[in-house]
Amino acid sequence: MLADLLERGELSVAIYGLGYVGLALSAAWARAGAKVIGVDVDVERIAALSNGVVEYVEDDVRRVVADAIKSGRMEVTTEGDVASIKSRVKIITVPVYLAATRPSIEVDFSAITSAAKAIAQGLKREDLVIVESSVPPGTTEEVVRPVLEESGLTAEDDFYLAYSPERVMVGHALKDIEENYPKVVAGVGPRSAEEAAALYRKIARKGVIKLSSVKAAEFEKLLEGVYRDLNIALANEMASLANALGISFAEARAAANSQPYSHVHKPGTGVGGSCIPVYPYFLLWTAERLGVELPLTALGRAENEAQPFRVAEAAIKAMIREGVNPAEAKIAVLGLAFRGDVDDTRRSPTYDLLQGLLDFGIRPANVVVHDPYVRRDRVVEKLGIRLTADLKEALDGASLALIATDHSAYRVKASELAKLMARPVIVDARGVVEADAPIYSIDGGRWPIGRRSVQPEPRRGRC
């Protein structure tokens, strides 16, 4: 089996896609003793990695990948066909995109199809191909398999084909792979499933969960995400009611979650990243083709897409309530990444939050965005808004501090933020600021907005 080659240090693993997931997987397989070949279409990224420059938020991933490249245990390339020839295991981590969600949902399989074509050109008997990308159910067998079989080889008979969804969170992705969760695995046949499972047992200390079909494994991954999307929508709705009642949602939530069957999530500015906002659409796209309706899934997504605009409205109302003219005030939006202590801005709700402020007539020149991890952002630049990593600079002269991301840097006393501002109005949309001075908090019982507010149509793009 291929796992035996890994034990002897003779296994070559090609990783297709060197983003957040791909680099973490590269580190995991390198630590397991495999020779790793990283493949990516981004020429600049490959050039940087070739020179040992690994840009990643996790120290362990940076260190392991840099050491593997330096020692020759890992190489990187843009030539996916060559990588396929040189490897026995090929792992696909490239994204499947949402091309559109209105007026109808369109899924873009071009990246995963391109990776499969490159693999097919170097595919050999007894090789193993594993799809780890999050995909609509049926993708591995209906999109990837036909492309691979253009090689003249047949899945399960000549080569192995499996699906194993990535289950990582950037910030502790390598630990997620190696320690935190069992690995879900399924194959197009029993031989494929066992080859993949035997390999993953070598790196996943929590073991392997082997499902009966690839489609079930693809569905499982999306189920994880849509559960969280709906839960966050519920949290936002209940936080709105708690604020209307004048009580702390955070206090009530903590008490509710002391019951083992309650897992209420936190409210916030919306839902970001390349996962949770996308998975419901994959399921809706699939359901539409089967003639199945998913009204709750669609409603949860709509609610979370409207949330950044509600937060923008709340900020405007808070300023007016405190006697500040929003049209003339400096506004500091704290946090561009979609969640705390990472540099990942993909589909961040902060983008819609910024657009919401502009929709209310706020001039871009009056807005500054602060993020300690993000140095440059094309979307913010296009809006004409300044981005800085200096918190004091962002707050200097500001009348509003709007906390949009739960970075550790914002887990401070409200009074510490206020003393850096001109006429301080603090709107905490993530519930992270310690309220030792008056603030508006989404989960603390003081929030200047009703549930049924005007909701501009969210602007949607690719993942």
Tens of each residue's pLDDT in the chain, 463 residues:
999 999 999 999 999 999 999 999 999 999 999 999 999 999 999 999 999 999 998 999 999 999 999 999 999 999 999 999 999 999 999 999 999 888 899 999 999 999 999 999 999 999 999 999 999 999 999 999 999 999 999 999 999 999 999 999 988 999 999 999 999 999 999 999 999 999 999 999 999 999 999 999 999 999 999 999 999 999 999 999 999 999 999 999 999 999 999 999 999 999 999 999 999 999 999 999 999 999 999 999 999 999 999 999 999 999 999 999 999 999 999 999 999 999 999 999 999 999 999 999 999 999 999 999 999 999 999 999 999 999 999 999 999 999 999 999 999 999 999 999 998 999 999 999 999 999 999 998 778 764 434 344 444 333 3
Beta bridge partners of 38: 15, 76
Q: Which of 210, 266, 275, 317 is catalytic?
A: 275
Q: How far is CA 351 from CA 98, 239, 427, in A?
A: 17, 22, 17
Tell me how far the alpha carbon of residue 218 is from its chain's centroid: 17
Counted residue by residue, the chain has a size of 463
* CB 447 within 8 Å of CB 431: no
* CB 54 within 8 Å of CB 23: yes
- Return d(Cα 215, Cα 180) in angstroms, integer: 24
Strands 440-441 and 386-388: unpaired
| Residue 398 identity (one-letter amino acid) | A
- Would residue 275 show up in a list of annotated catalytic residues for this protein? yes
Q: Which of 210, 215, 221, 317 is catalytic?
A: 221
- Return d(Cα 193, Cα 2) in angstroms, integer: 12
DSSP secondary structure letter of residue 161: E
* CB 150 within 8 Å of CB 123: no
pTM: 0.93
